[in-house]
Structure 1
């Protein structure tokens, strides 16, 4: 980890204004992924995995209906388009492919032609290799609670949407890094993805420990009423713009509750649905948030207060135009620019996990 990202201090100390919320504070680690070239020995998003050569690469065995959504692209095309966009400036003509990129396109086209010549190229029951989503080492992310001697979490997904929730199917693997000697050099890849947003950009991480408070929807009705009491905010001397006098709970939700972006632990983001508890299919324990896979590191407008101090200039600049994605460094997009929350059993991380789009 050779760079840092720092969340700006919150405009109000939550527990000072509302001591009733202090017991609800939770630790979280914001991952702050940024495009880079991680190695198999690095914690990363979308990077190569420390995968044993003797262990089969995971595939999705579900039936995949290969209908033309208008968005489906080969991984080669997704990556080439991103390279072009990264070189595109608003006052320039669209850049041309380099000779190396043209060769990649030709190989991709030849590969597709071979599959077409061989018959239906994408049988619905053909197993699909999973794509790496995240690799997290315990030494970088101490909030992880791995089973046994494991010190490494690897998260992969199938880049096709799966019913009934129209989201990628996820898989988790815990392992001991020291036990991996012979590393799989060239993992298989799916030919295509349902959407470019299901192809993570390789990113290095700058983990940052923070303290989080719940999304306002996770609070009891009594605590929600406290947040809506403007007199309480004023009596505590909180420096809150009078713009929020009619809706002080909105100030809490935007600036003080759960942090946006990729993170481990903390509180879940809600919004698409009201909160509901997830229970382990094996032991019925209430499951806890493990990893948030986020479409955006911060939102626009007031939500930019969560942009790290090192990124504030980029967050407040006009970031429109091809190749400019300061708040979407991973290029991941789930749902309608939502978050995918992965939950695990607190009694045994090896019990089946579950996931949820919010």
Structure 2
């Protein structure tokens, strides 16, 4: 049987230099959370709107050009390519349009008031390769793990690393993926008595899991309690054959930035068709596609999932629709492809006292 993950790996392996596209649409330490509004004159990178527009167009042109030098280097190293922050357009359809997220250069609620009720607050993480510490929010960095709690391992039968589907791995240590402290993401609601979110996953492909990709586990902790009991110093690292490189994040610092985003794949179909002419007019006027100024298709907390495919919202065992907690995508500094430029989305049910969670994967 050819699974979604297998197809994604086949697609990724067939291309040496790949560009991150989807249907639908950076330091050391943690920067203080910032609020970016649609009318702000500067974005998180300090560029003015005009500079951002120019940068976006230049990035799109560079991303579409053949990268012969990079291809040669990637063939020599055996890697499958690096990932710019770009996605493919949903609203107009047609062939993929490689583009870079620049943020909106206008007040979207004024131009398209019908979108106002669809806006959702999200915190963009903006990972940048660095050396975070155990008390830093990070992606792929070290974790504030209790010394008296064993590091988690995964022993799911049949899990494997590309291309060794017929040679499954044994029990393998999980890898750090996300660590967020409440002080850095004030918009995220933490369970009572906790102020640290941690996500680890087994970086192998799991055919017994519906997602058929990396298998995540979520933890909520109290920083004070962990420090009082001691921190685990020696976190095991998976060895060759115990991980798939597509799901091994490189340590990155984060710069949490709050903003409001609008739906991509979750755009109500009838409303999307009704607003199509105005959206196209704005795209033509500012030279930016809809997903560049309305959708945060990247690593983030809350908001809409950064879907690559049509939505697949989960419900808990009590039939409650779960909320989107995290989107983890293969941005460049993380150095992971996640299949064919895929994403893993973590969902939480706050209506249930035990706070059950689950995940989805697409590419």
> Normalization by structure 2: what TM-score?
0.66
Deviation at 1:345, TM superposition (A): 0.8
1:152 is the counterpart of 2:196: yes
Q: Which residue does 2:234 correspond to in 1? A: 186
**1:57 corresponds to which of 135, 151, 156:** 151
Distance 2:350 2:118 in 1: 17
1:39 is the counterpart of 2:133: yes
String of CA shifts for 1:68-105, please: whole Å, max 9, x gaps. 7169xxxxxxxxxxxxxxxxxxxxxxxxxxxxxxxxxx
**Secondary structure of residue in 1 paired with 2:341:** coil
Q: Which residue does 2:297 correspond to in 1? A: 260
1:169 is the counterpart of 2:215: yes
Distance 2:322 2:107 in 1: 28
> Do the aligned partners of 1:258 and 1:268 also contact (CA within 8 Å) in 2?
no
Which structure's CA Rg is the greater one?
1
Q: Give the direction of change, closer, same or farther, for the CA distance of 1:12–1:67 in structure 2 (3 Å limit).
A: closer
In angstroms, what is the RMSD of aligned CA positions? 2.8
Deviation at 1:242, TM superposition (A): 6.4
Q: Give the direction of change, closer, same or farther, for the CA distance of 1:257–1:357 in structure 2 (3 Å limit).
A: farther
Distance 1:22 1:68 in 2: 44
> Do the aligned partners of 2:162 and 2:244 also contact (CA within 8 Å) in 1?
no
Distance 1:67 1:261 in 2: 25
String of CA shifts for 1:80-138, please: whole Å, max 9, x gaps. xxxxxxxxxxxxxxxxxxxxxxxxxxxxxxxxxxxxxxxxxx985x4321100011001
Q: Which residue does 1:213 correspond to in 2? A: 262
1:204 is the counterpart of 2:253: yes
**Secondary structure of residue in 2 paired with 1:229:** helix
1:251 is the counterpart of 2:295: no
Distance 1:269 1:149 in 2: 29
Paired residues, what number?
A: 263
Q: Which residue does 1:224 correspond to in 2? A: 272
Q: Give the direction of change, closer, same or farther, for the CA distance of 1:196–1:233 in structure 2 (3 Å limit).
A: closer
Q: Which residue does 2:284 correspond to in 1? A: 241
Q: Which residue does 1:285 correspond to in 2? A: 320
Pairing 1:1-358 to 2, within 5 Å after superposition: 1=29, 6=44, 8-66=102-160, 69=163, 124=169, 126-163=170-207, 164-180=210-226, 181=228, 182-192=230-240, 193-215=242-264, 217-230=265-278, 238=282, 240-241=283-284, 251-252=289-290, 254-272=291-309, 274-281=310-317, 283-296=318-331, 328-348=332-352, 350-358=354-362
String of CA shifts for 1:257-311, please: whole Å, max 9, x gaps. 3212210011112332x22331012x32111111110113xxxxxxxxxxxxxxx
Distance 1:21 1:199 in 2: 37
Q: Give the direction of change, closer, same or farther, for the CA distance of 1:168–1:225 in structure 2 (3 Å limit).
A: same
Any unmatched runs of 5+ in structure 1?
A: 72-121, 245-249, 297-327
Distance 2:119 2:130 in 1: 32
Distance 2:44 2:353 in 1: 29
Q: Give the direction of change, closer, same or farther, for the CA distance of 1:280–1:66 in structure 2 (3 Å limit).
A: closer
Any unmatched runs of 5+ in structure 2?
A: 1-28, 33-42, 46-101
Q: Give the direction of change, closer, same or farther, for the CA distance of 1:263–1:123 in structure 2 (3 Å limit).
A: closer
String of CA shifts for 1:175-195, please: whole Å, max 9, x gaps. 101001311110122213443
Deviation at 1:226, TM superposition (A): 2.1
